[in-house]
Amino acid sequence: MKVGAENKKQVQVMVALLAILALVAIYNFRDSIWGSSAAAPAPASAQPKSSGALPAQDGSDPRLRLDILDNSRKVKLEASNRNPFAVGVVIPPVVASVKGTPTPTPMPPTPTPTPRIPIKYYGFVASRPGEPRKIFLQPEGKEQVYIAQLGDIVDRRYRVVQIQPTSVWMEDVVTNSRQQIQVEPMPPGGR
């Protein structure tokens, strides 16, 4: 079987990958091949003398230490702010407040008065049943009188919310505040 130039490159890459795979396998199974070399066992004087089980090779001791367990049972917990489950956490003692200087009680915030809606309500137009009621509104300081109905916005800012015979409810769309405006007599001359 002849190997061409393209196949030679593929064979070389495959050989390199197999060599890497062999090294990884040897590294992972080194303990079973050459024996354990992770950690030396602890000296015999440092090992507790309880059961006949051998300690683990990594230096940890899986045996139950009854002497430590008995010592922990002898510790009496007092009713305090100590948390027995928190390791090394110290709760600072409660410091008594200095008497003689009363802490001022905060005053509730004073509500900011909502600005008055500058619209005059002159009444409504008699309409037929089923037709929306139309009203006459005039912004203060302006000569233009608006004919509006429920939901319309007057003077680019004030929405008609509710229409009643003697008053109208307007909403300022900028501040979302509502105000009831009472009907005013029409000025003489229709203006």
Any idea which architecture 119-190 has in CATH? Roll (2.30)
- 3-class secondary structure per residue, 78-123: CCCCCCCCCCCCCCCCCCCCCCCCCCCCCCCCCCCCCCCCCEEEEE
Q: Give percent of the chain above pLDDT 90.
A: 19
Bridge partners of 163?
168
Q: pLDDT tens, 69-78?
A: 888 888 776 6
Full-model pTM: 0.40
> Looking at 20-34, 43-57, 132-146, which range is the least confident one?
43-57
CA 162/CA 158 separation, integer angstroms: 12
- Amino acid 113: pLDDT: 78
